[in-house]
């Protein structure tokens, strides 16, 4: 696997054009592409359909063989993390969710996200705990909490997106050493926070056994059109996503993620066949009938900053 992050824009050699979006590039440009932030040579990788699921994988750019980004390049692992932390810390009057350590690594403080999420749910989602009993204002306090949760979800989905864009195993280990996740005075393993389509089975089993006590990050690709369920209490709108299939001892299990929305405006911004990083609470019901292959689990979205397009 190539080092560095997957990229979606590049500079073309021998031109004065600024960075060109991948939608305007093709394999014919290979041999003439530079990283948009340093002069490392990069190459175009065509999109394709993944295995039996036929899940679409979008085209992307990667470092050419034996190439490396400059150490401070925003497309390097370290450079991308530092950029994300700087953007998070630039928001005034909001406690930073990142805490720098003596060794130069960062701690993502999950407690801050969970606490802000609970307050905003109590004050913004119908059917949640009555905010008046808690003495929470729906004015300036609500606005401050909204700004905070926007920032924290943006940071959480940002670190998940960075992880999703890394292919090289050594870079993955470097990333994990530079960003640690803390919740209730304990460190969370990255495998307990981030799930791609190869680990839907693990996520489902943890959710069905009620072993998820904090938001998680999930990589999903939207498969269906937008659905609407009038009988839902809160999350009326939803999309089904591409599944993970497991065949074991002549038994097939199909793990089906669904992203659910409390806000129609947010739901309408989602594009079919696009891949997203979602940060949120996951729930699932155990399947009592073992002869039924489908194992459904749901990701709840009530804030736009919970979901980030993988390609930009």
Q: How confident is the model at residue 116 (pLDDT cuts 50, 70, 90)?
A: confident
CB neighbours (10 Å) of residue 84?
20
Q: How far is CA 189 from CA 5, 51, 144, in A?
A: 21, 29, 30
Cα distance between residue 187 and residue 216, in whole Å: 14
Q: How confident is the model at residue 290 (pLDDT cuts 50, 70, 90)?
A: confident
Place of tokens 């979006």: 21
Q: How confident is the model at residue 311 (pLDDT cuts 50, 70, 90)?
A: low
Give this prediction's pTM.
0.85
Residue scoring higher pLDDT (15 or 137): 15
Q: Report the pLDDT value the prediction gives residue 135, as an integer from 0 to 100.
A: 37
Average pLDDT across the chain, whole number: 88
Edge-to-edge strands, sheet with 106-109: 98-100, 106-109, 179-183, 186-188
The terminus-to-terminus CA distance of the chain in angstroms comes to 21
**Percentage of residues in the chain having pLDDT higher than 70:** 89
Cα distance between residue 94 and residue 136, in whole Å: 18
Q: How confident is the model at residue 155 (pLDDT cuts 50, 70, 90)?
A: very high
Is the model's pLDDT at 200 over the cut of 50? yes
Phi-psi region of 185 (alpha: psi -120 to 50; beta: other; left: phi over 0): left
**Percentage of residues in the chain having pLDDT higher than 90:** 70
Can you list the domains of the chain with their CATH numbers? Answer: 9-63 (no CATH), 77-188 (no CATH), 194-309 (2.40.50)
Tell me: the pLDDT tens digits for 244-260? 999 887 788 999 999 99
Q: How confident is the model at residue 126 (pLDDT cuts 50, 70, 90)?
A: low
| Contacts of 39 by beta carbon, 8 Å cutoff, 6+ apart | none
Q: Report the pLDDT value the prediction gives residue 312, as an integer from 0 to 100.
A: 47
Q: How far is CA 124 from CA 137, 235, 300, 308, in A?
A: 11, 13, 14, 21
Reading the block at residue 208, the tokens are 């069905």
Q: How far is CA 75 from CA 8, 12, 30, 39, in A?
A: 10, 16, 18, 11
Is the model's pLDDT at 132 over the cut of 50? no
Lowest mean pLDDT among 13-17, 80-84, 183-187, 251-255: 13-17
Exposure class string for 211-245: b at 16+ Cβ within 10 A, else e: ebebbbbbbbbbbeeeeeeeeeeebbbbbbbbbbe
Residue 278, beta-bridge partner list: 218, 307
């Amino acid at each position: 696997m190539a080092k560095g992050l997957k990229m979606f824009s590049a500079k073309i050699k021998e031109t004065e054009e600024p960075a060109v979006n991948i939608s305007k590039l093709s394999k014919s440009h290979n041999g003439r592409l530079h990283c948009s932030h340093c002069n490392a040579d990069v190459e175009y990788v065509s999109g394709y359909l993944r295995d039996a699921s036929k899940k679409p994988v979008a085209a992307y750019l990667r470092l050419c063989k034996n190439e490396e980004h400059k150490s401070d390049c925003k497309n390097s692992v370290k450079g991308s993390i530092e950029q994300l932390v700087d953007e998070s810390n630039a928001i005034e009057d909001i406690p930073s969710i990142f805490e720098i350590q003596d060794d130069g690594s960062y701690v993502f403080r999950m407690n801050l996200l969970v606490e802000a999420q609970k307050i905003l749910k109590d004050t913004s989602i119908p059917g949640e705990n009555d905010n008046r009993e808690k003495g929470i204002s729906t004015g300036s306090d609500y606005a401050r909490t909204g700004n905070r949760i926007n920032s924290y979800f943006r940071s959480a989905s940002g670190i998940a997106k960075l992880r999703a864009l890394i292919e090289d195993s050594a870079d993955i280990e470097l990333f994990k050493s530079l960003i640690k996740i803390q919740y209730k005075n304990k460190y969370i393993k990255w495998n307990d926070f981030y799930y791609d389509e190869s680990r839907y089975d693990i996520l489902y089993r943890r959710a069905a056994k009620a072993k998820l006590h904090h938001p998680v990050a999930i990589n999903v690709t939207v498969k269906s059109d937008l659905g609407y369920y009038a009988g839902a209490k809160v999350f009326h709108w939803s999309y089904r996503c591409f599944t993970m299939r497991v065949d074991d001892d002549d038994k097939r299990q199909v793990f089906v993620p669904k992203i659910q929305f409390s806000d129609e405006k947010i739901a309408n911004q989602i594009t079919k066949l696009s891949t997203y990083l979602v940060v949120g609470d996951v729930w699932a019901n155990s399947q009592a009938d073992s002869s039924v292959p489908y194992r459904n689990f749901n990701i709840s979205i009530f804030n736009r900053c919970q979901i980030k397009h993988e390609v930009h």
